[in-house]
A and B are shown apart, each in its own frame.
Chain A
Amino acid sequence: MIHTHFSRWLLSHYRALCFALSELTRAPFGNFITVCVIGIAIALPLGFFIVLKNLQTVDSSWNASAPSISLYLTPDATTSQVNTLLKTLRANNHIAEVTYVSPGQGLKTFEKNTPFNHIIKIFRRNPIPGVMTVLPILQDQNPTAIHALFLTLKQLPLVDTAQLDMNWVARLYDVIAIGKEITKALSLLFGFGVILIIGHTLRASLSSHINEIQVMRLVGATHHYIRRPLLYRGILYGLLGGLISWVLINIFLSVLQKPVSQLAQTYHAPFQLQTVSFALGFGVLFISMLAGLISAWLITTQFLNQPEQAD
């Protein structure tokens, strides 16, 4: 008995799925448009998310998000003076790290990295000053604290010029944070949109089958029976829409790859855009199918709760 119940249940699900598929192929053009609209609606927040993810890799791979202070030392600073200063700075509990590039090292780097090394020969002595790069501790990496530290360091006798590097990556980080909020809002908005699109399509379909459904109810169809193919159809819309958004975003990224590579080249940093990973893709499919299911459930519930109209 249990076996027959279970196999009947399976059979009814199989039939509902087949029916939903046949409904999709019955009006292929209309359904294709619906699925594309769903795909585009999902692609917008997904695209935003992927672009942000890529920007975050810029951030983490170049690991320069923390602001730093560069101290250019006076040219007449002696080695012992420099060492004393290094010790003092390293003892300062507002400072996490100090790196020192001596004039000699600076010159070597300059000679190595630029084609203008012959210019150096014009000068009688090494024109490059010693540079200390000061990285504040994590708690002090906010505009107020770092500015206070900057003002203190600027007063030091050995320091010729001090420069605060709130570098562009740090700014990018703020932009990403804003972008994340926008993505959240977009996802909610477009997720709701997807539910509405699927709901609207199913509703139109229900109204065109109103007689059929009435006859089914009169010969003893349960609410579950009437609802099932529509739930499957909602899920299928979600699945196909999700797949389209996945494809769209990957096309978009592959088009974007070339200009991004060119840009990255100017920074001497080869950069490969991240595409939609399988985990993310399947996550998107799951969510879009869930949206389809929810939508179909809401619409059929609303429909089935209306009073019946016989003949």
Chain B
Amino acid sequence: MIEFNAVAKEYQGHTALSNVAFSIQSGEMAFLTGHSGAGKSTVLKLAMCIESPTRGHIHINHHHLSQLSQRQIPQLRSRIGMIYQNPQLLHNQTVFDNVALPLLIHGYRYHEMKRRAQAALDKVGLLSKEKLFPSELSCGEQQRVGIARAVVNKPDILLADEPTGNLDPELSLEILRLFEAFHAVGVTVLIATHDLSMIAQMPYRMITLLNGRTK
């Protein structure tokens, strides 16, 4: 569950969000749209506790974010899978190591880590490339590695920031189908994108940001 209540965010006098309010139920899939610079990334950063709102309240999985201590933030993040336009992979580590990173951080034993990471890679169709380095993969494949890493710890929520921004329409659709597959097994999915043509035919709710407000 994701809930934004009259949220505003200002950066040194410049207003990024003036009044954002929306609610996404558990297991729901939704799109966050708006032109570039409308504040989509800011919304996701606030949800991940990378930044804190200037005003308003945010609830994630019934946690009031402004009441979280520094120690509780990693716990929250381990329940959220985040996907970026630039997939933020570690280029000195193999595909497998990249995907296993969240499991390594949470202290999984090697065989359990291997089983889960391979399952996640299998789901995105990259199991055969687990020993390669990210630089040896195409953009679409790198994005899928990012998705495998986001879902490897079986999060309740997936957040994606322009996940198809660098991809051609065919690959974009492939990625969206992946998100639908996770939604189908009960994961809450929120995808920020400005590509309205692609999502127009999809049966999901759209939350539109305009001048820092939700319409």
Contact = CB atoms under 8 A, between A and B. Distances in A.
Contacts of B214: none
A15 B77 contact: no
Given A15-B104, A310-B45, A220 B75 contact: yes
A222 interface: yes
A192 interface: no
A216 B48 contact: no
Nearest to B150: A219
Contacts of B86: 311
A8 B110 CA distance: 12
B37 interface: no
Given A11-B107, A311-B84, A219 B102 contact: yes
B108 to A, nearest CB: 8
A267 B105 CA distance: 67
A263 interface: no
Contact of B90 (A11, A211, A220, A311): A211
Contacts of A310: 45, 48, 50
Interface string A201-226: 00000000001101111111111010
B9 to A, nearest CB: 14
A12 B107 contact: yes
A311 B84 CA distance: 8
B74 interface: yes
Given A225-B105, A310-B50, A218 B70 contact: no
B116 interface: no
Interface string B81-123: 0101110111000000000011011110100000000000000
B104 to A, nearest CB: 7
A218 B77 contact: yes
A225 B107 CA distance: 10
A308 interface: yes
A26 to B, nearest CB: 10
B78 interface: yes
Contacts of A8: 107
A215 B90 contact: yes
User: Number of contact residues on A: which range applies?
Assistant: 20 to 34
Nearest to A307: B51
B144 interface: no
Contacts of A15: 104
B70 to A, nearest CB: 7
Interface in A177-236: 211-212, 214-223, 225
B93 to A, nearest CB: 9
B145 to A, nearest CB: 12
Contacts of B109: 11
B89 to A, nearest CB: 8
Interface string B123-153: 0000000000000000000000000010001
Contacts of A225: 74, 105
A216 B71 contact: no
B105 A219 contact: yes
| Residue among A15, A220, A225 with most chain B CB within 10 A | A220
A311 B160 CA distance: 13
Contacts of B101: 215-216, 219
A222 B74 contact: yes
Contacts of B105: 216, 219-222, 225
A309 to B, nearest CB: 9
Interface in A1-18: 8-9, 11-12, 15
A261 B171 CA distance: 82
Contacts of A211: 88, 90
A5 to B, nearest CB: 9
Nearest to A310: B50
A103 to B, nearest CB: 88
A308 B50 contact: yes
Contacts of A221: 74, 105
B48 A218 contact: yes
28 contacts: A8-B107, A9-B107, A11-B107, A11-B109, A211-B88, A212-B90, A214-B88, A215-B88, A216-B101, A218-B77, A218-B88, A219-B78, A219-B82, A219-B101, A219-B149, A220-B76, A220-B77, A220-B105, A220-B153, A222-B105, A223-B70, A225-B74, A225-B105, A308-B51, A310-B48, A311-B84, A311-B86, A311-B88
Pick the 5 closest A-B CB pairs, nearest first.
A220-B78, A8-B107, A220-B77, A219-B102, A222-B74
